[in-house]
Amino acid sequence: MRDELDALFRELQSKAAVNYHLGGVVRGLMDVQSPLDQKDERFRRRMTRGFIREHKGNLDAAMDHLNRFAMVIGNLEMLYQQILDHPELDLESKVVLENSARDHVARLKRLHGRQKTTLTDITQLFLRLSRKCLKGTRKRK
């Protein structure tokens, strides 16, 4: 039982960490978007560079936490399998537990997939912004 609680706790930590880092980058993108449309070229360059410097770590951390979340899901699957293989469980309990375990893991995998898609989209926006900043710097030189 202690292992199951530890696994669930790690699951919650992983989900929250990915969402935290992705949320920080999204908020940064939203903050940068409106001033980039209105100000002069020098201001846009400074805003873009500041954003890249500030949020590159968040993207890296989100990727790391997303990978850890995938490992947590795998560990949780193995833990459920160990519980289901326990000889003292009767057939009815195994069926109920197996259904709930399967549903739980499926929900986590869907969440992981959505987080992965969000991370991919955010990373593409981040790279597009970085590319635009580099092009602007090269034109000036």
Phi-psi region of 71 (alpha: psi -120 to 50; beta: other; left: phi over 0): alpha
Q: What range defines the domain where residue 44 resides?
A: 2-140
Quick one: which of 136, 141, 139 has its CA closest to 44?
136
What CATH number does the domain containing 44 carry?
A: 1.20.58
pLDDT truncated to tens, each residue of the chain (141 aa)? 456 556 555 666 666 777 777 777 766 766 666 555 555 667 767 777 777 777 778 778 888 888 888 888 888 888 888 888 888 878 888 888 888 888 988 988 888 888 888 888 877 877 777 777 666 666 665
Q: What is the pLDDT of residue 1?
A: 45
> How many structural domains compose the chain?
1
| Contact between 101 and 80 (Cβ < 8 Å) | yes
How many other C-beta atoms lie within 10 A of the C-beta of residue 9? 11
Q: What is the pLDDT of residue 139?
A: 63
